[in-house]
């Protein structure tokens, strides 16, 4: 029996739920994008273009206009130093165009920012460059004690509204799990125009080098344990919003994909596992998913989506605070060691 792995996400019909998530080492190189396509990727989310890159570029151009005009002959010397920030904008658009020409995969571009502003206008250029959808990553770490939660939430909503007015593209919002009431925030984002939510942004915590006395931003890849946070929130939100849910964080095995689909994800984004094992890992994830479905008599991925969401699972309270007591009382060292298994 063959299994139908197809799913829909942001109005796109995808061959499977396995999507390459945003990370420059995965998506910057066109040959690698092709390798992902050959390995069966259903779509790819490009690495982000950052608000800071766009705004720095605007500053650079302003500087050039002001100072370059004073001395035409030497105008070229006023061009800003080529920097990561300066080249970002142009390169990003060119990358979308080149990727569009190279692969037939749906391409989801990614804009990454924290505050409403001119940078959101860039969404339109992304649309014109040929992206199939846009993922808006709102990655902020508010530390100002004067800033209220309500003000932060209003700002996040405002960014989504602004981007929505710029583009007709399907729009997903990748958000942080750290809201006072994530359900309410999710609903506001959908009302502001998000067609999908990506749960979650992964916050990279800096470490302290105790010998050099330096703060180091060294990045640790996820493990399958990280999947529990998106799993719970996807299960809680599934069926309650007019939006698709995408999982990001902790997808390393075919059974991880199964879990997240059961919770209610339409797609699962994979990054860490592909950084560790390369594009071929996608093909084995697909194989593991298909075999699991066959062995459990599912003919389609769609039958699985949401079957264990909070609304549909036998014990809805399992996803809520009530189970906190049960969880801490049920701890057994052997279970904890076995829970992870090979990955
Ligand atoms: C090296 C690296 C670069 C990343 N760059 C981006 C990025 O540009 N934009 C973004 O939204 N997420 C970025 N992420 C986060 C991933 O998209 C993803 O959310 C996170 O790695 C969790 O998924 P995983 O458990 O499959 O790794 C990056 C992650 C890594 C490891």
The average pLDDT across 69-85 equals 41
Specify if 1 maps to a domain. Answer: no
* pTM as predicted: 0.90
Q: Whose CA is nearest to atom 16 of ligand 1?
A: 22
Cα 265 to ligand 1 centroid, rounded to whole Å: 18
Specify if 239 maps to a domain. Answer: yes
Q: Is the pLDDT of residue 7 over 50?
A: yes
**153: exposed, middle or buried (Cβ count in 10 Å: 0-12, 13-18, 19+):** middle
Q: Is the pLDDT of residue 239 over 80?
A: yes
Contact, 231 vs 247, CB < 8 A?
yes
Atom of ligand 1 at shortest range from CA of 47: 8
Specify if 2 maps to a domain. Answer: no
Atom of ligand 1 at shortest range from CA of 270: 26
H-type helices in 76-148, by residue range? 84-102, 122-128
Cα 253 to ligand 1 centroid, rounded to whole Å: 17
Specify if 304 maps to a domain. Answer: yes
Cα 328 to ligand 1 centroid, rounded to whole Å: 31
pLDDT category, 70, cuts 50, 70, 90? very low
45 beta partners: 108
pLDDT category, 315, cuts 50, 70, 90? confident
Tally of structural domains, the chain:
1
Which of 112-116, 182-186, 212-216 shows the lowest per-residue confidence on average (mean pLDDT)? 112-116
Residue 43: what pLDDT?
98
Atom of ligand 1 at shortest range from CA of 252: 26
Q: Whose CA is nearest to atom 1 of ligand 1?
A: 23
Cα 69 to ligand 1 centroid, rounded to whole Å: 42
Specify if 127 maps to a domain. Answer: yes
Specify if 251 maps to a domain. Answer: yes
Residue 203: what pLDDT?
83
Q: Whose CA is nearest to atom 10 of ligand 1?
A: 22
Ligand 1: residues within 6 Å at CB? 21-25, 47-48, 110, 112, 137, 174, 202, 219, 221-222, 226, 248-251, 270-272
Residue 319, CB half-sphere, CA atoms under 13 Å: how many?
21
Calculated CA dihedral for residues 9, 12, 13, 16, nearest 10 degrees = -50
CATH code of the domain containing 32: 3.20.20.70
Q: Are strands 12-14 and 7-9 parallel, antiparallel or unpaired?
A: antiparallel
The average pLDDT across 212-220 equals 90
Domain of residue 323: give its range: 7-340
Q: What's the count of helices (H) and strands (E) in the chain, helices before strands? A: 13, 12
Specify if 184 maps to a domain. Answer: yes
Specify if 240 maps to a domain. Answer: yes
Q: Which of 135, 202, 257 to mutate to test the pocket of ligand 1 (most atoms within 8 A of CB)?
A: 202
């Amino acid at each position: 029996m063959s299994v139908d792995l197809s799913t829909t996400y942001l109005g796109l019909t995808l061959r499977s739920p396995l999507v390459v998530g945003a990370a420059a080492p995965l998506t910057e190189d066109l040959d690698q994008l092709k390798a992902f396509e050959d390995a069966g990727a259903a779509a790819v989310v490009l690495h982000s273009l950052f608000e800071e890159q766009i705004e720095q570029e605007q500053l650079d151009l302003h500087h050039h206009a002001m100072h370059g005009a004073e001395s035409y002959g030497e105008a070229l010397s006023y061009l800003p130093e080529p920097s990561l920030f300066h080249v970002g904008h142009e390169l990003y658009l060119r990358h979308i165009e080149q990727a569009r020409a190279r692969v037939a995969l749906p391409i989801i571009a990614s804009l990454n920012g924290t505050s409403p502003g001119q940078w959101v206008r860039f969404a339109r250029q992304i649309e014109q460059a040929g992206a199939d959808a846009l993922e808006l990553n709102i990655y902020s770490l508010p530390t100002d004690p004067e800033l209220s939660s309500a003000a932060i939430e209003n700002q996040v909503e405002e960014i989504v509204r602004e981007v929505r007015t710029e583009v007709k593209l399907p729009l997903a919002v990748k958000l942080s799990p750290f809201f006072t009431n994530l359900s309410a925030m999710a609903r506001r984002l959908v009302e502001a125009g998000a067609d999908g939510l990506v749960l979650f942004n992964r916050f990279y915590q800096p470490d302290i080098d105790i010998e050099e006395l330096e703060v180091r931003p060294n990045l640790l890849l996820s493990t399958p344990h990280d999947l529990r946070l998106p799993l719970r929130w996807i299960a809680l939100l599934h069926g309650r919003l007019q939006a698709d849910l995408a999982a990001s964080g902790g997808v390393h095995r075919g059974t991880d994909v199964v879990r997240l689909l059961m919770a209610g994800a339409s797609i699962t984004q994979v990054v860490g596992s592909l950084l560790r094992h390369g594009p071929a890992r996608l093909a084995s994830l697909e194989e593991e998913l298909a075999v699991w479905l066959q062995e459990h008599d599912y003919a389609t991925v769609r039958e699985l989506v949401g079957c264990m969401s909070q609304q549909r699972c036998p014990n809805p309270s399992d996803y809520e605070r009530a189970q906190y007591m049960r969880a801490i009382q049920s701890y057994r060292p052997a279970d904890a060691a076995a829970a992870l298994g090979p990955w």
